[in-house]
Chain A
Amino acid sequence: MTTRDYQPLLLKNLHRYDSARLSAYEQSGGYLSLARALKELTPEQVVEEVKASGLRGRGGAGFPTGLKWSFMPKGPGPKYLILNADESEPGTFKDRLLLERDPHLVLEGFLIGCYAVGCNQGFVYLRGEFVEAYRILKQAVEEARAKGYVGKNLLGSGFDCEITIYRGAGAYICGEETALLESLEGKRGHPRLKPPFPAQVGLYGKPTTVNNVETMANVPLIIERGGAWYAGIGREKNTGPKLYCLSGHVPKPGVYEFPLGIPLKELIYDHAGGMLRPEHPLKAVIPGGSSVPILRSEQCDVLMDFDSLVAAGTLLGSAGVIVMDDTVCMVDALLNLARFYAHESCGQCTPCREGTGWYVQILERLERGGGKMSDLDLLVDMSDRIQGNTICPLGDAVAMPVRSYVMAFRDEFEYHVTQKKCLTAAAVS
């Protein structure tokens, strides 16, 4: 099967104009998986099925979802499942599409998740800027409640599950799961120290699991068709369908669904229409959202899955594929990213708080033509001192691209130092 023949599983309802409505969702078999889980499977069996599917978290870290659920303690007492709908990673817009166009798919998966971990109160942490998604999701929850999918005694199973939507106030850091918990508790979005992990001490001190929107959208499929069937999609240990967000210098940017492991170049050239302007060839690709190391064009013969991209020295991340042609100045691009991270650093821990602002100053200097050759080594050395030494992954998320841009495009950075201008502009003009 070539990817051209691939029939979408996650986006299968999107062709309908009313895809966000419960009626449309039910017509395509919606909520049957929830019914099956509630009536035929124990929570443990749901967890086992998801484990068997090999589903890995689609938020960026790729942690096995079933395993994550199994960390939740059994027995009575409040437990929380949280839907992380704070999609904020630059270059990433897949969760928003699901929330706006197929909210019931996400909701059904989330409800099955709540059942699996024994959560009677689920929270949706929704990015504040997602105004339309909020309206749609709220409507979806109300529709689902009216049909007995949300609330008391779901479908007569005796299982109660309330869903509350909480809107963030606009901070990238609140997508980090422990900062999200703080924010959800009404506090400042500062990541927590781990351990303890949320599965032990989470929201309001209770066992908590946080799952990504796209991850949950896979769950109904797994319950409907079985973990074994699902595990046949994609590649070993990198199973299932995946949403890829294509942006940048391609004629057809957008969200594409293919199995994990699709070749990056196939995604760009066969599906996104190749390069935007044929006279400007591919220069670089960020394969997994702004936080991951960049690939030079000659490194782009890679498969888009968790393990293949790690082997290539980068990460699948959120699968935000940002395509850059040869008009992009890497110093400028990195400065743009550094400004984002400096703005979004929560300010809590030293290396990230101080380092992100320092990055910006150095990159601004380089961009202006006032940089020094030692600045390039300094950027890399700072990255070594930030990465792995911060409370949360935001430090890594800025250190990785900085190091990779400077190392992969050292010639361009050096040109900025020696010639005090852009190599790109010189080459392009």
Chain B
Amino acid sequence: MPESPTEQVTLTIDGVSVTVPKGMNLIEAAKTVGIAVPHFCYHPNLSIAGNCRICLVDIEKMPKNQIACSTRVAPGMVVRTRSEKAVKARQGVMEFLLINHPLDCPICDQAGECVLQDFSYHYGTGRSRFEGEKVHGPKGVDLGPHIVFDAERCIKCTRCIRFCDEVTHSSELGFFNRGDHAIIGTFPGRQLDNAYSGCTADICPVGALTVTEFRFKQRVWFLKRVPTVCSGCARGCNVDLGINENRIYRITPRENPEVNQTWICDEGRLSYEPFQKSERLGGAQAGPTAGPSDGAARPLAPGAAWDEAAAALGEIARKHGGEAVAAVTSGHATVEEQAALKDLMDRLGAEKIALPLHERGEDDALLIRKDKTANALGARLVGGAGARVSDLVPAIASGEIRGLVVLREDPLGEGGEVVAEAFRKLSFLLTLDWRKTRTAAISHLALPVCAYGEMDGSYLNFEGRIQLVRAGLLPFQESDPAWKPLLEIAHRLGGGEVPASAREVFRSLAARRPFLARLDTPAVGKMGVRLDVGTV
């Protein structure tokens, strides 16, 4: 038979006939028919180490048990994962792994999502014959800024070492000493400080490596996992928010082979921290009616605020034409929000929409993008962004632009006195933000919008992949997703009814945009869809 990538092999695992592509290992092959072969050291995105030995299976015609991770399927192979020989070996491995393990599950952060715990439950005997003195090792060791190491919990699977060798190519970690005194550590003079160091804790099957920022913060079984997309850069890594009592405690990678495999960068992992540390805008605020100033803010009910905004923007457009109104859209906003702002501008006859860039560093070879916004492509393709803030400033200063809508941006905070000078000349400045920004402070009207994690929506990553972000937190006070106030204002200017959900906004948008035409959010799903953005 000619060799081809699609060549299939049929074998039997636990009496079940399995047909899988040639070259697949037995763990993956068993998985296709719902048979779980336990493994610690095996990781689909790392090289095969074969050291934990828990995946030993009994293969007909082979005298010894074989490790499923490094054994590839062969035609007619008969594999038994539950034969006496396999079970005895597996129980042996479990017992061996636990003899020097501290069994400190009650105070271990990994408890509840610990593979050692789970496999002990499933495959162990529930007892140990070990009565001696455990080997002791260092605990609470800072391997780097984000990783704490407990040598006693470590089962020497070397996933962390292989990650640093094979994924980040930084090789900070090594295996030292021998026998039951073997220990993982950083090489002399090195720190585990690569940009993805947190992933070592994710792939650590036990509680040996923990993320400094999450350590002792929460029992993991209290955390609700909300599948979403990281907002830290234009990659859009798939992540889970770990939420309890309306607070994000951690962000962990969610597997998506086409985006981030099973990794995220440390910056993305900790990207929830600014949302918790910044001062929030809780309700609509109107500045002094005389004009932009730093004067005392006046709280407004949402409906009244929308009426006020519609009246002010409508009047400018009527008196001075649509060109007197402009907007600053954002790569931090969702596609739905960007589309709503564009709809409002269209209703006013306004065309100038600027997009501030947030670039830092360089793109790296793995995930990190220098564009630190999640949805800049959406701002361009959906939000109609075609200008830069610096293009708008002279027109504002000259009085040509009299009305400005700013979505999730702080041009004042970033632009300095020249921008502030110009903005004070605006007849009407509307800001939609989740923070109390400098721009919000001088706005005629500032509307509170949801922060990351508080709203549903979608991002278009740098490759043109549409992905869904999900709400896991309740909106702060009166915050809404920004599409809502924007469309409410548009509605007051003669626009259509305001949709009830982000999904409806997306659907109505998809009906109008060729490159989104066939999509609905369920079709986008948890994994996202790569769009042909070339046909916009």
Contacts and interface: CB of A to CB of B under 8 A. Distances in A.
Given A353-B156, A361-B133, A362-B132, A347 B181 contact: yes
A218 interface: no
A347 B179 contact: yes
Given A362-B132, A388-B64, A353 B88 contact: no
B53 A390 contact: yes
B97 interface: yes
Interface string B407-438: 00000000000000000000000000000000
Interface string A340-362: 00111111111101111110011
Given A350-B53, A353-B182, 13 more contacts: A171-B178, A342-B179, A346-B178, A347-B175, A350-B51, A351-B93, A354-B100, A358-B132, A389-B53, A389-B56, A389-B64, A389-B65, A389-B89
A354 B130 CA distance: 11
Contacts of B132: 358, 361-362, 365
Nearest to A354: B96
Nearest to B93: A350
B51 A355 contact: no
B64 A353 contact: no
B70 A193 contact: yes
B48 A385 contact: no
Nearest to B94: A350
28 contacts: A188-B174, A188-B175, A193-B50, A342-B180, A344-B178, A347-B179, A348-B175, A349-B50, A349-B51, A349-B52, A350-B51, A350-B54, A350-B93, A350-B97, A351-B93, A353-B156, A353-B182, A358-B96, A358-B99, A384-B92, A385-B91, A385-B92, A385-B93, A385-B95, A388-B63, A389-B65, A389-B92, A391-B53
A350 B155 contact: yes
A383 to B, nearest CB: 10
A397 interface: no
A355 B132 CA distance: 12
In this complex, which of B132, B174, B179, B181 has the most chain A Cβ atoms within 10 angstroms of its Cβ?
Answer: B179
A222 to B, nearest CB: 31
In this complex, which of B53, B89, B156, B177 has the most chain A Cβ atoms within 10 angstroms of its Cβ?
Answer: B53
Contacts of B179: 342-347, 353, 356-357
**Chief secondary structure at chain A's binding surface:** helix
A389 to B, nearest CB: 5
A384 B93 CA distance: 12
A357 B100 contact: yes
B178 A193 contact: no
Contacts of B277: none
Interface of B: 48-54, 56, 63-65, 67, 70, 88-89, 91-93, 95-97, 99-100, 129-130, 132-133, 135, 155-156, 174-175, 177-182
Contacts of B88: 384-385
A19 B66 CA distance: 48
A15 B177 CA distance: 43
Interface string A387-411: 0111100000000000000000000
A193 B181 CA distance: 22
Interface residues of A, number: 33
Nearest to B155: A350
Interface in A321-380: 342-351, 353-358, 361-362, 365, 374, 378
A193 B72 CA distance: 13
Given A358-B96, A358-B99, A358-B130, A347 B50 contact: no
Nearest to A386: B92
A193 B64 contact: no
Interface of A: 171, 188, 190, 193, 342-351, 353-358, 361-362, 365, 374, 378, 382, 384-386, 388-391
Given A348-B51, A349-B51, A391-B51, A354 B63 contact: no
Contact of A193 (B48, B65, B129): B48
A368 to B, nearest CB: 12
B97 A347 contact: no
A356 B51 CA distance: 15
A140 B40 CA distance: 49
A390 to B, nearest CB: 7
B97 A354 contact: yes
B99 to A, nearest CB: 6
B177 A385 contact: no
A176 B182 CA distance: 19
In the A-B complex, list the 5 residue pairs whose CB atoms are closest, starting with the nearest: A385-B92, A347-B182, A361-B132, A357-B180, A354-B96
A347 to B, nearest CB: 3
A46 B179 CA distance: 42
Contact of A388 (B65, B97, B174): B65
Contacts of B96: 350-351, 353-355, 358, 385
Nearest to A396: B64
A357 B135 contact: yes
B50 A391 contact: yes
Contacts of A362: 132
A347 B178 contact: yes
A347 B447 CA distance: 61
B150 to A, nearest CB: 17
A342 B100 CA distance: 14
A152 B54 CA distance: 50
A193 B65 CA distance: 14
